[in-house]
């Protein structure tokens, strides 16, 4: 090193020189530990390097080998799709184009590695191998390269194994669509005011879109949701299917017309929420239950629904009539078995549906995950539309069928009694859980 005028300048020059070499700053920290073992400033320097300097995981020869492996695959895969699969839907956006596989790899080399996790590049390569599996020797070569780099870096082999399992699971059973979870709960001081929390949710990944300690009227909540959906758009891939909007509501609001709430998407004009997104409601009361038998029953019914998605036995759906409203307790006992998994009304539930011991309450507390009804009485046409939704198509497709019905009802030539104008769908997946409010 050239002569410097002061110790401070020597230190700066040493740091700059170390930055020019592979792993130089980390080796500098190792040297400091030898001379100043246990000194708190060395620990602070190590934390600064770990927190701000990406882990230099590739030697020049390894980088060259990776580029040889990636070059033939550039035209075969969408690099952004692989990145989203590996890093999750909420990962920071990439600067490289979707067809620039080499550019994406160069970006990932410089990304920070969270403590205890596989470096982003190695995780990406593992998912890329799963995407191209069965297309020749590329997948095997990528996995071999990944394992060699991880071994040289001293990374736990289990990290690579877990990444491989996650990648295989993703490719063989693609993760479902994103959801915007909107939890509305009573304020506690004012019966007509509510607290609201909004999350973007996909698989095990979630991000808070709106949450504070304010209370809102239902009218004000519409604006909160409108803004949250605008934020959500920038977080999802441009080619992604529109997210489901799931309202987690106290029992007395389950029949609220949330699908008709107007949203603007930032424009001067508004449209009904249910025309743009599959809108469903969920029971906040059931979500918070501590009853183990109820949770098991709820999960068993949901599992049956998923496993028998192409079947429609008579026992899957229970149509409810006026006589059921006279004895909710009897209905509860009838619904408490493994089937039916869905209930439906040709018209609106009885007026007392807001009570937890009503007919709707019997369905919820029996663990029934799906309920479909119209909020207003319709003629024979509306009755047939509702029946078709449950009998023509697979039960797991109900949210999209509801979206289609609401779009049809919004068309200029649609009949006024179209069931899509007043359609409510309870669609309650027990595995899709919101975050606890403020850690409570």
pLDDT in tens, 299-344: 999 988 877 655 555 668 898 887 777 788 999 999 988 788 999 9
Confidence of residue 284 (pLDDT cuts 50, 70, 90): very high
Write out pLDDT tens, residues 391-407. 766 788 889 889 999 99
Percent of the chain's residues with pLDDT above 90: 30
pLDDT computed for residue 138 by the predictor: 86
Question: Residue holding tokens 């470096």?
Answer: 119
- Mean of the per-residue pLDDT values for the chain? 83
Percent of the chain's residues with pLDDT above 70: 85
pLDDT computed for residue 438 by the predictor: 41
- 85-99, 151-165, 267-281: range with highest mean pLDDT: 267-281
Decide which of 383 and 188 is more confident.
188
The two tokens of residue 363 are 């369905």
| Whole-structure pTM value | 0.62
Decide which of 45 and 50 is more confident.
45
pLDDT computed for residue 387 by the predictor: 78
Confidence of residue 384 (pLDDT cuts 50, 70, 90): confident
Q: Which of 147-156, 263-272, 344-353, 359-368 has the lowest mean pLDDT?
A: 344-353
pLDDT computed for residue 168 by the predictor: 82
Average pLDDT on 418-434 reads: 87
Buried residues in 292-310 as b, exposed as e (16+ CB within 10 A): eebeebbebbbebbeebee
Average pLDDT on 402-418 reads: 84
Residue 440 has pLDDT above 50, yes or no: no
Decide which of 258 and 383 is more confident.
258
Beta bridge mates, 244:
179
d(CA 160, CA 154): 12
Confidence of residue 148 (pLDDT cuts 50, 70, 90): very high
Question: Residue holding tokens 């006589």?
Answer: 323
Decide which of 37 and 344 is more confident.
344
d(CA 206, CA 180): 9
pLDDT computed for residue 345 by the predictor: 85
pLDDT computed for residue 56 by the predictor: 61
Confidence of residue 52 (pLDDT cuts 50, 70, 90): low
Q: Which of 58-67, 151-160, 276-285, 390-399 has the lowest mean pLDDT?
A: 390-399
The two tokens of residue 176 are 């479902």
Domain ranges of the chain: 7-52, 60-172, 179-437
Angle, vertex CA 174, rays to CA 173 and CA 177, nearest 5? 135
Write out pLDDT tens, residues 199-257. 988 765 678 888 888 999 999 999 999 999 988 876 775 545 788 999 999 999 999 99
d(CA 143, CA 345): 54
Confidence of residue 267 (pLDDT cuts 50, 70, 90): confident
Decide which of 240 and 291 is more confident.
291
pLDDT computed for residue 112 by the predictor: 66
Confidence of residue 439 (pLDDT cuts 50, 70, 90): very low
Handedness of CA 342, 343, 346, 348 (dihedral sign): negative
């Amino acid at each position: 090193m050239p002569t410097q005028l002061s110790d401070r300048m020597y230190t700066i020059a040493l740091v700059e020189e170390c930055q020019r070499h592979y792993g130089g700053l980390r080796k500098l920290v190792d040297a400091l530990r030898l001379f100043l073992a246990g000194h708190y400033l060395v620990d602070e320097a190590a934390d600064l390097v770990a927190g701000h300097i990406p882990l230099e995981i590739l030697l020049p020869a390894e980088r060259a080998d990776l580029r040889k492996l990636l070059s033939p695959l550039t035209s075969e895969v969408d690099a952004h799709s692989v990145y989203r699969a590996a890093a999750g839907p909420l990962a920071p956006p990439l600067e490289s184009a979707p067809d620039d596989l080499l550019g994406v790899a160069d970006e990932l080399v410089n990304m920070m590695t969270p403590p205890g996790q596989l470096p982003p590049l190695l995780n990406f390569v593992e998912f890329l191998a799963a995407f191209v599996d069965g297309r020749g020797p590329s997948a095997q070569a990528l996995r071999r390269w990944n394992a060699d780099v991880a071994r040289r870096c001293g990374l736990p082999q289990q990290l690579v194994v877990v990444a491989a399992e996650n990648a295989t699971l993703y490719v063989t059973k693609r993760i479902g669509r994103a959801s915007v979870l909107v939890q509305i709960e009573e304020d506690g001081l004012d019966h007509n005011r509510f607290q609201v929390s909004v999350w973007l949710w996909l698989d095990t990944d979630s991000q808070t879109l709106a949450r504070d300690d304010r209370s809102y009227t239902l009218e004000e909540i519409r604006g909160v949701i409108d803004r949250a959906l605008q934020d959500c758009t920038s977080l999802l891939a441009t080619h992604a299917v529109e997210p489901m909007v799931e309202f987690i509501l106290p029992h007395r609001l389950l029949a609220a017309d949330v699908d008709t709430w107007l949203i603007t998407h930032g424009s001067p004009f508004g449209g009904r929420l249910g025309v743009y997104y599959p809108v469903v409601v969920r029971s906040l009361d059931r979500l918070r239950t501590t009853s183990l038998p109820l949770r098991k029953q709820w999960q068993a019914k949901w599992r049956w629904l998923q496993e028998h998605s192409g079947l429609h036995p008579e026992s899957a759906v229970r149509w409810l009539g006026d006589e059921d409203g006279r004895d909710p307790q009897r209905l509860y006992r009838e619904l408490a078995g493994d089937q039916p998994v869905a209930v439906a009304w040709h018209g609106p539930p009885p007026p007392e549906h807001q009570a937890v011991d009503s007919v709707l309450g019997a369905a919820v507390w029996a663990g029934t995950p799906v309920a479909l009804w119209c909020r207003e009485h319709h003629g024979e046409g509306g009755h047939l539309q509702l029946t078709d939704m449950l009998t023509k198509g697979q039960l797991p497709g109900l949210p999209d069928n509801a979206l289609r019905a609401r779009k049809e009802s919004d068309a200029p030539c649609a009949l006024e009694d179209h069931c899509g104008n007043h359609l409510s769908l309870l669609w309650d997946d027990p595995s899709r859980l919101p975050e606890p409010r403020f850690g409570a």
